[in-house]
Every structure is written in structure tokens, then in C-alpha cells.
């Protein structure tokens, strides 16, 4: 084959993989066949460096109806005949190249994953990471990504209800854009993707196929940004208005009984959608590329099969229902076209101008090789884990430091972001962005609701991959638990560097081990997810970033626990730890990073205490003992209390020994598994008795009051002053 090395480079296949293909099919593949292998054996589609690790996740419970890896997304049965479908996915590399379209099409793709299950998308969340805003490039990426999310999401009628945005130098040039979608369906109308019946028709509906996104899965999502190549043609272009009618048309088709299976055309386009459907069904396919609607002339079979043009769905339909399906979509001004037939051959035969241009065995095509690279603990850990913590600053600077943290882009209000999103469409949103640790959505059929959150802290994972992975699961679930909701399942997006480097594979391996242990300890299965590898620019990897989306159920939305203080004169308690916080609280903290530009130390995490804390929250929440509850994380206790005050417009008077042993660690240390709660004074003793039963430390921090924020003799300022700093922090960094 001429220019073989160039073709292997385009398809991200190695010479060894090419030799393996030749051995498996008994001949040299042609150019189209090589493109099919490149797409399906890519990291993005084949998970060849991570599949063996992902199998260690707990993925089952009584409520799980569709497990991770079985379909486009996982499904949980929440009772009353309802199922919840949710998943998170990355669109990191496209967003680094074209931030607006990269983020926009990330939203479109995750929505179609949920839609393919027959579920109505009811909520979006996103987890974003950028480099420091002092650099113009990072500000450009930030503005483009936020604009892309709002520009696409606001048009499709799905509320964007929550998320997180953080900034750190490791993301310079390689932003992370992780999008999560939640869907709702009648459990008996769950749609599958397997093409099981020979003679069934393959129909495509939605956008015509263009040349955008070719090599997106293999060329963009499965390699590092370390070569001088033009990437823009590999980024797709979205049409949210077409997506909106596609949502409505597909939902009607799914409930009509005329469609046997449905699949999103996402990464690798027709190639992945068609081959995965027939592989799951144990069947084969005859596909005619001449029948595929195109919006550009002169497209080859290679381009048609590998295009990642957006807003396209694949349907599996019985011949008797073909005209019904066409008529149904015509009502939505969409054209459904038959492009092929399911066969019993077990082979993929692709036709062009009446000739077979590809003929491959389906299992051989879809079963990518699985690698287990060498794993080596990174040498940097020996130095960073043993760094001596700096001494406490002058206590006279406490207010200055406090305001510095409140103004940090990683802590300050993200109103500048979420105010651009429509978070009230569909009228389900009970707790909106900026109001709580988790978003809460009302199930209109009852008083019940769903709490959803995304979370992850890469500093912890960088310093201890095991601890960082476990804490990502714990904090996402804790965000749900503080609302009074019971966490029932999680989804994950694992953003790492080049897994072929032993140090990166170690990070991935240990992070997944930590996540698995946390999931088992908290009783939450992993029902879906995504792995985004090769997040490197010019050979420099991002911090290992495990993002976890958690979902919980609350029985009565009227009884959910708010984040902010509600009443003057309430007791404020710290659950999970006393005030005798020492230097062990400083590793990986925002305080250490902002004050000393240090990302160091040896973080620790107690899974048993975390599980006890979440059980405590659910018990006291059900008893109605809490007036508020807020997770204590970035910025420590002082920042968490300030957030309760700022959002609620109520002050705080802190009493007790806040300087033992060090005032800075007490105020700003970030020990895990801690929650700030408020309650009526009459129930304080009852709360303490329940905490004692769970072997949880619980400390009275003070009492809420009318206006000022006061902590012992350390801090005194007005809530208005803190609010001004908190709400202007991100704007100041951007400007």
C-alpha cells in the first residue's frame, strides 16, 4: 500500500497494530478498511489502554437496569415506573482547537447518548478546567467554551443546572470540557441499540453528512498535541436547532413501536454506530454509502464512513415499518433514509457504486487490542509528599488572606458563567446554579426529586492518585447527600495524559483503584463514563483529573436541605472533625496554592468516616433536624461558612478556640469528610448524640446573627464586604 506510514499516522494505528490486522484478516486491508480499523481501534472507541482497569469498577445494584459499557448510557430504576439515564463525556481536544464548536458539539453529543436510550434529556451539567486566566490564550479558551455551551445548550430546551469551573497551570493549552446529561424515561420504554434481526433496515435521520470531524476519534482524541498539524478540520460543527427537532422526533419514534433500536452517530460517525449495533446483535451488515445523504459533493466512501457530522441518529427498523418511520420524522421536517440492511453474515460489507469496497469480520473489526502498559510510581512524589509546610503568616494578615481565597477563581462565584445558561426551561429546577452543592430537579409526576452534582480535585490526584480518585467519588456523593438525597449511582470522566508513559498509567491505575474502593464503601455503582487520555501539550501532561457525576433521589423536594443559613440564632456545627486542625490539612489546598504557589504535601482520606458522615446526613435530614448543610472543601471551614452567609444573607459569630494549633490550618485547611450544618438550638444535643453513634466528631462553631461575619478575635467584617469580593472574583481575574 502506497504511503502506508502516512495512513497509519492519520488513523493513529501503530505498525504493530497494522501487522495484527493483516494477520487477523489474512491480507492487507485497503484504505477504507484501514480507516475503519483506525476509528474502532482508537483510544476513544476501543478503550485499549483502560478497559482492563475499568472492569474493576462496581457496576451493579438492585436498581441498575443498564450497566456501564452495555449501551450509550447507564440506567437506574428509581421506582414509580421511572428510569433515570445519565452519563458524562469529554470533548477536551476539540475544545482546545476550536473552543466554541468543541464545547457546543460536546453538549450535542452527550444529549444524543441519552436520547438514544429513549429518554428525554432533562438536565445538563459541566465540569471545566482551564489554565491560569493571566494568560490571554486561556481567557480565549474560557470565553469560547462557555459561549459554546450556552449557545448550543440554550437552543435545545434542556436546562444547564450545575457544574464546576477551576483554573490551574497544568491545563495551559489543554482545557478539559466534560459534559454530563441526565434523562428520564418510562422504564418499560427503554430503547436498546443492538441490531438483532437479519433483514432489518438501517435508517439515518438528521443532518446530511459532510467532511467535518473526519479522524476526530482516531486523530484528535487518541493522541497528544505534540505535533505541528492542522487540527481544525477534525472538529465538528453543531446545529442546535436541528438537534432540538431531532430530540422530539426520536422520542416520538422511540415510543411509537416502529423502531427496534437506536444509536447516536458520535465518535467515528457511521463506522462506530453501525458496527457497534450489529456487533451487539451478533449480526452483520450490508451498507451502501451511495444512499447516505451528503451536503458536499465528491465525498469518498472513506470520508462518508469516518465523518463525525453532528445531529445524526441511526435507527434499526423492520421493513414493514419503514414508511411509518419516514412519515413520523417528516412531521418534524426530518428526512429518514434507508442506507443498508442487517444480515446474518457476521460481516461488514460496504458498497459503493455497486461494488464491495470493504468486507470485514465484525468481531475482528470491533475488538481492539487491550494493552496493560508498564506502571511506575512518579519520581516527583518522593519530593512533593515530603515538602515541609510553610509556617503560619502574621495573624494581622488574616482578613487579607481570607479575601484572597474568596476572590480566587477556584472559589469565587461562577455567576459570570451560569448566568449565560438557561437553567429553568422544563420548569423542574428546584435548586439552581449558585444556590447549593448539588442541583435538585423535581419529578413532575410526584413530590420526589433528583439531586445531581459533578466534582473532582486534580491536586489531590496529582499528589496521591488513590486518594484523589476516592475523594472525587466521595465529594460528588457528599454534595448530593447534603441536600437530603440518597446517592444511588455515579458516572465518571477520567482525564489523563499519555497512558503509554509508565508514570501516567500508574496515576490512572491508582485513581481507578481509589474510585472503586470509594464506590464500594458508599454503595454506589458506576453505571457509565468516559476516558479521555493523551491530554498533553508538547509532551507535558495535565494533572490527572478524575471527574465524577453523582445522582441521588430525594423523597420530598419540599423537605430538601438548603446550603445557605436560613435563620438568625441557629447553631452552626462542624461535623466530621474538631477545630484542632494541624498541618495535615494543608496538602493540596487552595490556601497553599494561592499563598505559596505550592501544590505539595501528603493528603489522607478515611473512607469509613466518609461513609459514616453520609449516613449521618441522610438520617438527620430525614428527621428534619437540619436547617442547612454545606460541604466543606476548597478554602476550608472559613470559606464554607462564608458561602453559607453570602448566599443566605445572614451573618455568623464564631466562638471557641480557632487558633489551636494554627489559625491558618484551622480556617483554611482542607481535611476531607467535613460538613457545616445549622440547626435550631433545641435539637443541638440530639444531633450530637446521633453523630456520636456514628463515631463522628461534631463541634459547635458558633451562632448565626444579623449581619457581620466574626470569628473569635481573628476576623470581623460585614457580609456585604465578603459578598462583594466573592461575586467579583472571577470577573476581576478575567479582566
Are the C-beta atoms of 129 and 504 separated by less than 8 Å? no
**pLDDT exceeds cutoff 90 at 41:** yes
Q: What is the mean pLDDT of residues 400-414?
A: 97
Q: With beta carbons less than 8 A apart as the criterion, state whether 517 and 471 touch.
A: no
- Mean pLDDT, the chain, rounded, equals 94
Is the backbone peptide bond immediately before 661 cis, with ω within 30 degrees of 0? yes
Q: What is the chain's Cα-based Rg? A: 26
**Per-residue confidence (pLDDT) for residue 12, from 0 to 100:** 85
CA dihedral 106, 110, 116, 118 (to 10 degrees): -140
Is 44 a residue of the active site?
yes
**Of 124, 174, 130, the residue nearest 149 (C-alpha):** 124
Residue 44 pLDDT > 90: no
439 pLDDT higher than 50: yes
pLDDT digits (tens, 9 = 90+) for 473-493: 999 999 999 999 999 999 999
Quick one: angle between helices 465-481 and 502-522, nearest 10? Answer: 30
Check if the beta carbon of residue 179 is closer than 8 Å to that of residue 148.
Answer: no
Set of cell numbers at residue 112: 444524543
pLDDT mean over 364-386: 95
pLDDT for position 230: 47
Contact between residue 381 and residue 588 where contact means Cβ atoms under 8 Å apart: no
Q: Check pLDDT > 90 for residue 112.
A: yes
Q: Which residues contact 309 (CB under 8 A, 6 or more apart)?
A: 207, 208, 209, 210, 212, 213, 236, 237, 265, 269, 295
Is position 91 annotated as part of the catalytic site? yes
Asked whether the beta carbons of 351 and 288 are under 8 A apart, the reply is yes
pLDDT at 232 over 70: no
For residue 273, the 8-state DSSP code is H
- Give the whole-angstrom CA distance, residue 221 versus residue 223: 6
What are φ and ψ of residue 721, in 5° steps? -65, -45
What is the pLDDT, as a whole number, of residue 671? 94
pLDDT of residue 229: 47
CA 385 to chain CA centroid, Å, is: 28
Contacts with 138 (C-beta within 8 Å, 6 or more apart), sequence order: 130, 131, 132, 167, 171, 172, 175
Contact 704, 567 (CB under 8 A): yes
pLDDT surpassing 70 at residue 222: no
Element (H, E) at 174: none
Q: Could you give the CA distance from residue 250 to residue 255 in angstroms, rounded to a whole number?
A: 9
Facing residues of 178 across strands?
90, 127
Task: Compute the Cα dihedral for 179, 180, 184, 187 and give only its sign.
Answer: positive
Q: What is the model's pLDDT at position 234?
A: 58
Does 29 have pLDDT greater than 80?
A: yes
What's the CA angle centered on 586, arms 584 and 590, to 5 degrees? 160
pLDDT classification of 707: cutoffs 50, 70, 90 = confident
Domains and CATH numbers, the chain: 1-41+191-368 (3.90.650.10), 562-735 (3.90.650.10)
Number of H helices, E strands in the chain: 25, 28
Query: Is-contact 175 148, C-beta < 8 A?
Result: no
What integer pLDDT is reported at residue 523 of this predicted model? 97
Q: Is the pLDDT of residue 5 over 90?
A: no
What is the rounded distance in angstroms from the CA atom of residue 526 to the CA atom of residue 523?
A: 10
Q: How confident is the model at residue 224 (pLDDT cuts 50, 70, 90)?
A: low
Per-residue pLDDT reduced to its tens digit, 622-659: 999 999 999 999 999 999 999 999 999 999 999 988 88
* Joined grid coordinates for residue 370: 487491550
Mean pLDDT of 67-85: 94
The interaxial angle of helices 269-281 and 31-40, nearest 10 deg, is 70
Amino acid 2: pLDDT = 62
Closest-CA residue to 586 (of 509, 532, 664): 664
Whether 197 has a pLDDT exceeding 60, the answer reads yes
Is residue 496's pLDDT more than 90?
yes
Average of pLDDT values for 720-729?
Answer: 96
Which backbone phi and psi does 528 adopt, to 5 degrees?
A: -170, 175
Q: pLDDT per residue over 512-556, tens digit each?
A: 999 999 999 999 999 999 999 999 988 899 999 999 999 999 999
Q: How far is CA 366 from the centre of its chain?
A: 25
CB burial of residue 682 (10 Å; 0-12, 13-18, 19+)? exposed
Catalytic residue among 49, 91, 215, 423: 91
Query: How many whole angstroms separate alpha carbon 147 and alpha carbon 144?
Result: 5
Cell (9 digits) for 462: 496529582
Q: Specify whether the CB–CB gap between 99 and 145 falls below 8 A.
A: yes
In sequence order, the 6+-apart residues with CB closer than 8 A to the CB of 652 are 565, 572, 641, 644, 645, 702, 703, 704, 705, 709, 710, 711
Of 208-217, 236-245, 577-586, 623-632, where does the model show the most confidence?
623-632
Evaluated on CA atoms 34, 37, 43, 44, the torsion sign reads positive
Band (pLDDT 50/70/90 cuts) for residue 110 is very high
CA–CA distances in Å: residue 105 to residues 147, 309, 314, 440, 528: 12, 10, 18, 25, 20
pLDDT of residue 223: 52
Burial degree of 298 (CB within 10 A; 0-12, 13-18, 19+): exposed
pLDDT at 226 over 80: no
- Residue 236 has what pLDDT? 77
Using pLDDT thresholds of 50, 70 and 90, give the confidence band for residue 228.
very low
Amino acid at each position: 500500500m502506497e504511503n502506508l506510514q502516512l495512513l497509519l499516522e492519520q488513523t493513529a494505528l501503530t505498525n504493530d497494530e497494522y501487522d495484527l490486522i493483516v494477520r487477523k484478516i489474512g491480507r492487507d486491508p485497503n484504505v477504507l478498511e484501514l480507516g475503519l480499523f483506525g476509528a474502532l481501534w482508537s483510544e476513544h472507541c476501543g478503550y485499549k489502554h483502560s478497559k482492563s482497569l475499568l472492569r474493576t469498577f462496581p457496576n451493579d445494584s438492585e436498581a441498575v437496569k443498564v450497566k456501564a459499557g452495555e449501551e450509550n448510557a447507564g440506567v437506574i430504576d428509581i421506582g414509580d415506573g421511572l428510569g433515570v439515564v445519565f452519563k458524562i463525556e469529554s470533548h477536551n481536544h476539540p475544545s482546545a482547537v476550536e473552543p466554541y464548536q468543541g464545547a457546543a458539539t460536546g453538549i450535542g453529543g452527550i444529549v444524543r447518548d441519552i436520547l438514544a436510550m429513549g429518554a428525554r434529556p432533562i438536565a445538563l451539567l459541566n465540569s471545566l478546567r482551564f489554565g491560569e486566566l493571566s494568560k490571554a490564550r486561556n481567557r480565549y479558551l474560557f470565553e469560547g467554551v462557555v459561549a459554546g455551551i450556552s449557545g448550543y445548550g440554550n437552543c435545545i430546551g434542556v436546562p444547564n443546572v450545575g457544574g464546576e469551573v477551576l483554573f490551574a497551570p497544568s491545563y495551559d493549552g489543554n482545557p478539559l470540557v466534560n459534559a454530563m446529561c441526565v434523562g428520564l424515561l418510562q422504564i418499560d420504554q427503554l430503547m436498546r441499540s443492538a441490531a438483532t434481526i437479519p433483514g432489518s433496515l438501517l435508517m439515518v435521520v438528521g443532518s446530511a453528512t459532510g467532511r467535518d470531524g473526519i479522524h476526530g476519534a482516531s486523530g484528535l482524541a487518541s493522541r497528544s498535541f505534540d505535533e505541528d498539524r492542522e487540527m481544525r478540520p477534525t472538529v465538528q460543527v453543531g446545529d442546535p436547532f436541528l438537534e432540538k427537532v431531532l430530540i422530539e422526533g426520536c422520542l416520538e419514534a422511540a415510543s411509537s413501536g416502529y423502531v427496534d433500536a437506536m444509536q447516536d452517530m458520535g465518535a467515528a460517525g457511521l463506522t462506530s454506530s453501525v458496527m457497534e449495533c450489529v456487533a451487539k446483535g451478533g449480526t452483520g451488515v450490508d451498507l451502501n454509502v451511495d444512499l447516505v445523504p451528503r451536503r458536499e459533493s465528491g465525498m469518498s466512501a472513506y470520508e462518508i464512513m469516518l465523518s463525525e457530522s453532528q445531529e445524526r441518529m441511526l435507527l434499526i427498523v423492520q421493513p414493514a415499518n419503514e414508511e411509518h418511520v419516514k412519515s413520523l420524522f417528516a412531521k418534524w421536517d426530518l428526512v429518514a433514509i434507508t442506507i443498508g440492511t442487517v444480515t446474518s453474515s457476521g460481516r461488514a460489507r460496504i458498497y459503493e457504486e455497486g461494488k464491495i469496497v470493504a468486507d470485514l469480520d465484525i468481531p475482528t473489526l470491533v475488538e481492539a487490542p487491550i494493552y496493560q502498559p508498564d506502571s511506575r510510581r512518579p519520581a516527583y512524589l518522593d519530593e512533593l509528599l515530603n515538602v515541609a509546610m510553610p509556617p503560619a503568616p502574621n495573624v494581622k494578615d488574616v482578613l487579607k488572606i481570607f479575601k484572597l481565597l474568596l476572590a480566587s477563581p477556584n472559589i469565587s462565584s461562577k455567576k459570570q458563567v451560569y448566568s449565560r445558561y438557561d437553567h429553568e426551561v422544563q420548569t423542574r429546577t428546584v435548586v439552581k446554579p449558585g444556590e447549593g452543592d448539588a442541583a435538585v430537579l423535581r419529578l413532575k409526576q410526584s413530590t420526589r426529586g433528583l439531586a445531581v452534582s459533578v466534582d473532582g480535585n486534580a491536586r489531590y490526584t496529582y499528589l496521591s492518585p488513590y486518594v484523589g480518585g476516592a475523594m472525587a467519588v466521595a465529594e460528588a456523593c457528599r454534595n448530593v447527600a447534603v441536600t437530603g438525597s440518597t446517592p444511588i449511582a455515579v458516572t465518571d470522566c477520567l482525564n489523563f495524559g499519555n497512558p503509554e508513559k509508565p508514570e501516567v498509567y500508574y496515576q490512572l491505575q491508582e485513581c481507578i483503584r481509589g474510585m472503586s474502593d470509594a464506590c464500594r464503601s458508599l454503595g454506589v455503582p458506576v453505571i457509565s463514563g468516559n476516558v479521555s487520555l493523551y491530554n498533553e501539550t508538547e509532551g507535558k501532561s495535565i494533572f490527572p483529573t478524575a471527574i465524577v457525576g453523582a445522582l441521588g433521589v430525594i423523597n420530598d423536594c419540599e423537605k430538601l436541605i438548603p446550603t445557605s443559613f436560613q435563620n438568625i440564632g441557629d447553631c452552626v456545627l462542624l461535623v466530621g472533625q474538631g477545630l484542632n486542625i494541624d498541618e495535615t490539612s494543608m496538602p493540596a489546598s487552595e490556601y497553599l496554592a494561592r499563598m505559596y504557589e505550592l501544590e505539595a504535601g501528603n493528603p489522607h482520606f478515611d473512607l469509613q468516616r466518609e461513609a459514616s458522615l453520609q449516613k449521618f446526613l441522610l438520617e438527620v435530614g430525614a428527621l428534619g433536624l437540619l436547617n442547612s448543610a454545606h460541604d466543606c472543601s476548597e478554602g476550608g471551614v472559613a470559606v464554607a461558612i462564608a458561602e453559607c452567609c453570602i448566599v443566605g444573607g445572614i451573618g455568623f459569630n464564631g466562638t471557641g478556640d480557632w487558633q489551636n494549633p494554627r489559625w491558618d490550618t484551622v480556617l483554611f485547611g482542607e481535611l476531607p469528610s467535613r460538613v457545616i450544618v445549622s440547626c435550631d438550638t433545641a435539637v443541638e444535643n440530639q444531633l450530637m448524640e446521633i453523630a456520636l453513634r456514628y463515631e463522628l466528631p461534631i463541634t459547635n462553631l458558633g451562632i448565626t446573627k444579623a449581619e457581620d461575619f466574626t470569628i473569635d478575635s481573628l476576623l470581623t467584617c460585614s457580609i456585604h464586604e465578603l459578598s462583594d469580593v466573592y461575586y467579583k472574583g472571577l470577573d476581576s481575574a478575567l479582566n
